[in-house]
Amino acid sequence: MARDSSATKARLLDAAFSEFAKHGIAGARIDRIAENAQANKRLIYVYYGNKEQLFDAVLQRALETGSESVPFDVDDLPGYAGAIFDHLVERPSLMRLVLWKQLERPGNTDTEAASYQGKIAAVRQAQDAGRIDAGMDAADVLTLVVALSQAWFGAVGGPAAGGTAPGSTAAGGAGSDWAPDRLARHRAAVMEAVRRITAPHGDGS
C-alpha cells in the first residue's frame, strides 16, 4: 500500500509540475492535474492540502532535484553556471515554473533562504581568501552567476516560452528546436562571463 501511495504522489507531483509550468497557480486546474496523474482528485487534498500547498510541494521537489543535480562549488563558479545551464536544458519547463513563482508567490521559502545564505557565505569566504574578486558584494556575485545561467531560458522565443531541447525527456511545449552548436555557444558564453566577473583582479582579461 505504501508503495502505491508513493507512486500516486509522484504522478500527482509530475502532473502538477506540468500544469503549474503551463498555467501558473491561478490558471492551474486540480481536475486536469488529477486526470493527467490518473488519480482521484480527492487524493490531492488528502496528500497536499490546497492548490497553493501543492505548488509549494512541486517547487520544493524541484529545488531538491536541482541541489542534487547541480552541487554548488564556490571554487568553480563557471562550472557551476554551466551545470545550471545544463540542468535547465534538460528541464525547460523549470524556468517557467520559477517565473510563475516569482509572479504569484514572491519571496523565499525557509529552504531557499537557508541555501542562498549558505552560498553567499561561501562566496564571501572565497573573496576574503583572494580566490574570487572582492570588488562586488558576495550576494551580488551569486545573483549574477545565477542570472547569467538562466538568462537565455527566459528570453523571447526561449524555453520559458515553451521550447524544448532536442532529446530532452522533459515536458516543455512548443518552441524552436535548439541546435547543439547553439547550445554549446550559449553555454560557453555563460561560463566565460562568469569567469570574468569572478576572477581575482588581474586574472579576468
Mean pLDDT of 103-120: 86
Mean pLDDT of 79-85: 96
For 140-157, write each residue's pLDDT tens digit: 999 999 999 998 887 766
This prediction's pTM? 0.82
Give the CB-side neighbour count of residue 156, counting CA atoms within 13 A.
0
Contacts of 54 (CB under 8 A, 6+ apart): 12, 16, 33, 44, 48
Is the separation of the CB atoms in 166 and 15 below 8 Å? no
